[in-house]
Every structure is written in C-alpha cells, then in structure tokens.
C-alpha cells in the first residue's frame, strides 16, 4: 500500500508540475476602433463589435464613440501625432482627402492581402467605392455606413389633400405643397441649411459641377464653382416656395429639425438620409402611410446618380502587426452577407456590396414594411455610371466649405440676403481655404 501511495503521490506531483509548466491561454489581441456615431446608431456599432468579439477567441475590439464625425476626425489626427492612434477610425466623407494626403493609413487592399484575405474589390458598388478610392480605382478605406439623400412623403396627408401621385420633379413637389396648404397643412415641406442635400446631392443628380478639376479629383488646384451653376436656380426656387409659405425652415436651433418635423406630422415632406428610414418607420404613428423617393429634379433634367454619404473605416499606420491581424479579421467579419443584412436592418444604412444587396433582395428584405423603400437609395446611387460630376467630392477643408455654404443659406432664408452675392462670398471664402490647403500640401499628387 505504501508503494501504491507513493506512486499516487508522485503521479499527482507530476500532473501538478506539468500543469504548472504548461503555458497559460494566450491573451486576446486588443485593438481600438473609434467612431463618430452616437445614440441608437452608436449602440448598433457597439453591438457589431460584440458580435465580432463573440465570434472568435483571438481578438478583442474596443469600440469607442467620439461623439460626432468632426470630433472623430480631429481626435484621430491629434492621436496620430501623439502616437496614440487607434487601429481603426471611422472618417466621414468630408474628411476623405485629409486622410488620403496624411499618408497615415494602411491601404485597404494591402491590409487584407498581407493578412491572407482574398477580397473581390469589384463587389463594392462603384457609386460607393469610388468616393474612397484613388483616381485609379484602388480602394483606400472600407465603406461602412453608407447612405444617400432621399425625400420622404406623408402619403396619408397626400390622400387628404387630393395629391394622387408621388412627386418626381420639383415642379411636382410645388404642386403637391400647394394642395397640402389648401387642405390646411401649415408646413407642407420642411427644409434646413444642410448643404449635403441642397448643394452636393442636387448638383450630382443635375450633372452640375461643384468645383473644377472634376470636383477636386484631378488636383489640389480645384476651385468651387457652385455660384455659377443651377444650384443658384434651386436656391431661388426654394426662396419662392418659402415666400409662399409652402417650404418652411426647420432646424434644431428653431426647436425642431426636419426629420422630427416629418415624424410628428408637423410637416408632410422633407429631405434627409436613407439612414433615417428606420427612425421614420419607428416614430410615425401606426397607420400613417408614408413613402420615400429619389430626390426630385427640375423638369427636363436627365437625372444622374446621387452621391454616397456616411463614412468609411480607415486602418491607421503605426500600430503593432498583431493589431492589423485583428483589424483585418474585423473588416472581413462585417463584410459577410449576414452581417451586411443585419447592419442594414438595424440602422437603415444601405449594403455596400453587390452580393450583400442581392442576398437581401433574395431574402425578400425590401418587399414589405418596415424596410420597403430602402432599395430606392441603391437605385439612386447606381442609376448611371460615375462621372466627373457624380463620382464624389475630393476637396480639402471640405468641412469648412460646408460651414461656409450653410452660413450663406441661413442668411438667405432667415435674413432675406441676396442669393447670388451671398453665395459668391461663400465661394470666395471657400476658395481661399482651398488655396491654403493646396499650399500646405504643395507638391502632393492625387493618385
């Protein structure tokens, strides 16, 4: 028995020694992802991150909202200079050129190839991918939360006012607004000072340039030209509609922004992002009929494709190689068809790949409420092949340009400022900013 006890003791000691000598489970590689979404959309990003973390045991993504797009861009630049940058940053469309010229990123194609992922880059819709690609078509960042501008209609109000068809032109909208006004609706259409639908999207679908040099794609010497295009005609049209009390300014500063004005049925028409489709569906009272359409054009216009909005994911340079493996795994994970459909379902953003869109169509995603109508955004973005006026906007200091135009619009519609001279001044100030940007990056070439 003594020998048996000794053998048992030695066996136990050997087992304990073996366990002690065995390496501990490898820790997950942690990496950061900074984004600019908040509220419900911010929570959906956190949910996507949790789904990735739960799907595998090698990596842990730490997702942090920076509170807004502008702040995310600023914080990312500051962190990079301090060598404290995240592995991934969500940068909105207006910051694309700033990121390109910073050279502070790992190109999307190189990241995925280096980490063993074979990506069909042609699978991305050109109308989306081209915004984040070089002039030669190489995608530098990953389209993520993509959208375009659309127009929302309260069809229940239309029925009561005797509007029998969904408007397709601005002239149609004006006629519908007159009937709504006659039927007792005080705010037929809500609008704001946002240049995204009023200047950028309007210019694209009407085949109008925003700036020279193919909207900046061909060189840093681009100049804004919207003071010499049909954009001025649009502003005059909106002013006439405002004077007739058919179009009404709605902003947060005035107590109610355009989408809440629509969902509260204060106003019966508004322009916004397709990303608001989910919010509209959840917020309008049950039983209210509503619809969405491509942004209207003026009669006689040969409509062109609209511009992609939203943001893309940039992988930043200067991080450890292990983090790049995690970043590549995450980007591959969210690009899978099931995740593409999930993201579109819970947010309202559109699928960025052809396979993702086709899979959603096959599953009947767009056939019934509350998702019916979201396919309008894809139709709008893919209506025509990208051209110099519809590919996108590649201008430096574009955030400031948007602010200049927005300030001008506020002066026009709130202070009755002269349209032409006010836009002329905004363009002049914007071009001064473009020249400063060009000087900062003197000698840089756009690929």
Task: Map out the domains of the chain as residue ranges.
Answer: 29-147+308-381
Q: How confident is the model at residue 138 (pLDDT cuts 50, 70, 90)?
A: confident
Q: Is the dihedral of CA 373, 375, 378, 384 positive or negative?
A: negative
Going by their DSSP bridges, the two strands 149-154 and 88-92 should be labelled as: unpaired
CATH code of the domain made up of 29-147+308-381:
3.40.190.10
Pair of tokens at residue 439: 């000087």
The residues, ordered by sequence, that sit 6+ positions from 332 with a Cβ below 8 Å of its Cβ are 112, 117, 119
Name the E strands within 127-192: 142-147, 149-154, 187-191
Task: Give, in degrees to the nearest 5, the angle at Cα 41 between 36 and 45.
Answer: 75
The tens digit of pLDDT for each residue in 230-277 reads 999 999 999 999 999 999 999 999 999 999 999 999 999 999 999 899
Q: Identify the band that residue 404 occupies on the pLDDT scale cut at 50, 70 and 90.
A: very high
3-state secondary structure of 20: helix
The mean pLDDT value for 30-36 works out to: 97
3-state secondary structure 380-398: HHCCCCCCCCCCCCCCCCH
Look at residues 226, 227, 244 and name the one whose alpha carbon lies nearest to residue 173.
Answer: 244
The pLDDT value recorded for residue 447 is: 63
| CA geometry: angle 407, 409, 414, nearest 5 deg | 95
SS3 call for 1: coil
Could you give the CA distance from residue 290 to residue 305 in angstroms, rounded to a whole number?
Answer: 24
User: Which element (helix H / strand E) includes 314?
Assistant: strand 309-316
pLDDT at residue 88 is higher than 50? yes
């Amino acid at each position: 028995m003594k020998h048996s006890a000794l053998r048992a003791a030695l066996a136990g000691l050997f087992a304990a020694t073996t366990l002690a000598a065995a390496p501990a489970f490898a820790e997950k590689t942690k990496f950061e992802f900074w984004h600019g979404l908040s509220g419900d959309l911010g929570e959906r990003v956190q949910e996507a991150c949790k789904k990735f973390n739960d799907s595998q045991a090698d990596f842990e993504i730490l997702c942090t909202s920076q509170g807004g797009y502008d702040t995310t861009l600023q914080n990312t630049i500051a962190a990079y200079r301090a060598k404290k940058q995240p592995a991934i940053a969500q940068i909105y469309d207006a910051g694309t050129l700033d990121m390109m010229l910073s050279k502070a990123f790992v190109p999307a194609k190189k990241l995925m190839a280096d980490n063993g992922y074979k990506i069909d880059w042609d699978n991305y819709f050109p109308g989306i991918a081209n915004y984040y690609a070089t002039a030669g078509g190489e995608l530098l960042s990953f389209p993520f939360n993509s959208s375009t501008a659309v127009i929302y209609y309260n069809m229940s109000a239309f029925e009561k006012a005797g509007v029998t068809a969904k408007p397709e032109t601005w002239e149609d909208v004006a006629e519908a607004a007159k009937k709504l006004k006659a039927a007792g609706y005080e705010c037929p259409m809500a609008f704001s000072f946002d240049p995204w639908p009023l200047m950028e999207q309007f210019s694209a679908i009407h085949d109008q340039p925003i700036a020279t040099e193919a909207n900046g794609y061909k060189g840093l010497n681009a100049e804004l030209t919207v003071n010499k295009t049909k954009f001025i005609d649009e502003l005059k049209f909106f002013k006439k509609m405002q004077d007739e009390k058919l179009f009404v300014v709605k902003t947060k500063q005035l107590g109610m922004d355009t989408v809440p004005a629509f969902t509260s049925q204060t106003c019966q028409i508004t322009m916004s992002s397709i990303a608001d489709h989910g919010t509209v569906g959840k917020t309008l009272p049950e039983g209210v009929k509503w619809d969405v359409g491509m942004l209207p054009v003026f009669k006689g216009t040969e409509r062109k494709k609209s511009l992609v909005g939203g943001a893309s994911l940039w992988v930043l340079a200067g991080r450890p190689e292990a983090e790049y493996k995690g970043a590549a795994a995450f980007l591959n994970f969210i690009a899978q068809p099931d995740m593409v459909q999930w993201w579109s379902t819970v947010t309202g953003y559109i699928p960025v790949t052809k396979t993702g869109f086709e899979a959603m169509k096959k599953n009947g995603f767009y056939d019934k409420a509350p998702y019916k109508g979201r396919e309008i955004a894809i139709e709008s973005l893919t209506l025509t092949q990208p051209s110099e006026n519809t590919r996108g906007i590649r201008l430096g200091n574009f955030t400031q340009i948007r602010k200049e135009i927005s300030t001008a619009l506020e002066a026009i519609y709130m202070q009755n400022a002269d349209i032409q001279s006010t836009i002329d001044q905004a363009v002049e100030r914007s071009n001064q900013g473009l020249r400063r940007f060009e000087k900062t990056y003197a000698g840089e070439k756009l690929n």
